[in-house]
Chain A
Amino acid sequence: MLKILKYSFYDLMRSKWSYFYFLFYLLLGFLLLFLNNDVSKGIITLLNIIVVLVPLIGTIFGIMYFYNAREFTTLLLAQPIKRSHIFFGQFLGVGGSLTLCLVLGLGIPFIVYGLMKSAAIWDFGLLLVVGACLTLIFTALAFNVALRNTNRIKGFGYAVLLWLFLAIVYDGLFLLSLLIFEEYPLDTYALIGSMANPIDLSRILILLKLDISVLLGYTGAVFKSFFGTNKGLIVALLILSLWIVIPVRWMIWEGNKKDF
């Protein structure tokens, strides 16, 4: 499996898309810091961007890689290699190189602007953790879509729709349901509803960091115990990692029964 990871990673590292992604983050980081001229403000703006953008890029990159690596995959399938290792290795290759681009692309400008001496270093850590998790989650989801759809155009379309759903449509439906049932106690439902979408979940991790004062303004006991203590952070991180594990397991299962 490490070999598959190695070759996928090499393959991506010399693809121009990786550099594009890396340069994009580098530019974004420098631009935000140039405009705000303040590390912590830059981080806040970035956090808002990252929860939407990283999933989109993870999705598109994941699906493109999977379809482009089809020859490589078929070649591997005829070799004495376990199937699950092939897909898991490729997944780690894509997820790993994207995460590397994110970390370096954002890390360099922030270090140049004095992150290490700033109090915002923990916020930046959270930003990278959330970014890495979202990359892995959406790469895995994209691989699942690709495994189920041999037709590239269809697969690409479904993957982008999935992103669109989780990034925007889900929240619209969620809001609608909250408004419809506003007579009932909703805080548990609201929390569960946010946990069920990795983008919302990441957003909550960010809210815990940035908007704790507004969250504590709500009277519900469940909210209070969730947001008022470290419980919220721990539970959110735990579920976020579940959000990586489940799509990856599902991808491997899907890969094991697929014909090539």
Chain B
Amino acid sequence: MIQISNLHKSFKKNHVLKGIDLDIDAGGIYAILGPNGSGKTTMIKSILGMIIPDEGNLKVDGEDIHKQFAYRQKLNYLPQIADFPGNLKVNELIRMIIDLREQTANHEPLLETFGLNPYLEQKLSTLSGGSAQKVNLVLTFMFDNPIYILDEPTTGLDPNALIQFKGLLRKERDKGKTILITTHIMSFVDEVADEIIYLLEGRIGFKGSIDKLLAIYESEDIEHAIADMAKNMIDA
């Protein structure tokens, strides 16, 4: 579904991505892990075309995305920070995004699920962080597209919303969607991820299933396995 080859990106002197090669097949939940500053968000934004790579190729659904925009029809993106134009109301924002994407959306059940209906007439600037994140989720999941890219989706969610969110994820995976998630919460990874992609200092450190990771590092839980992996890689 997504092919990345030899992806490089520097911000001024900071060489963030140092040659990423990655092949993501269609279907399944991929957890993108790595310490702060390892290049997770940069990689995701490269796929979205928000960051222009210095070098390398990116293909989505077999199509080179360089200077393209129409491929984003197939992508649903949840940004890390739920930053919205503050002077819009919630329902105005939803209508605007639908209008801009020109796709059919199914937002009513989602609003119901996250209990957002009372907030529809509120301005986005007056929402709490958690509510904003819920709006973020609605905007992402209201379109029925093959690829989901979620940057830290669990931030600020209350337990109930988190449960609903996990349910959504499973439902979409079962429909055969490709879902990329960056996160720092290992329990969450353990619970939902099919495969792990581990980034360290701008390179892919590991790609494979959770079982494979646990087997290699002879560990009981992901947290320790990852810690060992990071230690090994730095030593190497």
Contacts and interface: CB of A to CB of B under 8 A. Distances in A.
A11 B69 contact: no
A71 B85 contact: yes
A256 B67 CA distance: 8
Given A3-B100, A7-B96, A80-B101, A259 B85 contact: no
Chain A interface residue bracket vs B: 20 to 34
A75 B84 contact: yes
B75 interface: yes
A259 B11 contact: yes
Contacts of B51: 259-260
A209 B100 CA distance: 46
Nearest to A258: B52
A11 B50 contact: no
Contact of B100 (A71, A81, A83, A256): A81
Chain B interface residue bracket vs A: 20 to 34
A257 interface: yes
Interface string A206-239: 0000000000000000000000000000000000
B24 to A, nearest CB: 18
B83 A83 contact: no
Contacts of A81: 69, 72, 100
A72 B45 contact: no
A245 interface: no
A71 B45 contact: no
Interface in B39-54: 45, 48-52
Contact of B69 (A14, A70, A80): A80
Nearest to A82: B69
Contact of A80 (B11, B72, B86, B87): B72
Contacts of B48: 77-78
Nearest to B88: A11
A78 B100 contact: no
Contacts of B101: 79-80
Given A82-B69, A256-B67, A260-B50, 11 more contacts: A11-B88, A71-B84, A75-B79, A77-B50, A78-B50, A79-B100, A79-B101, A80-B101, A259-B50, A259-B52, A260-B45
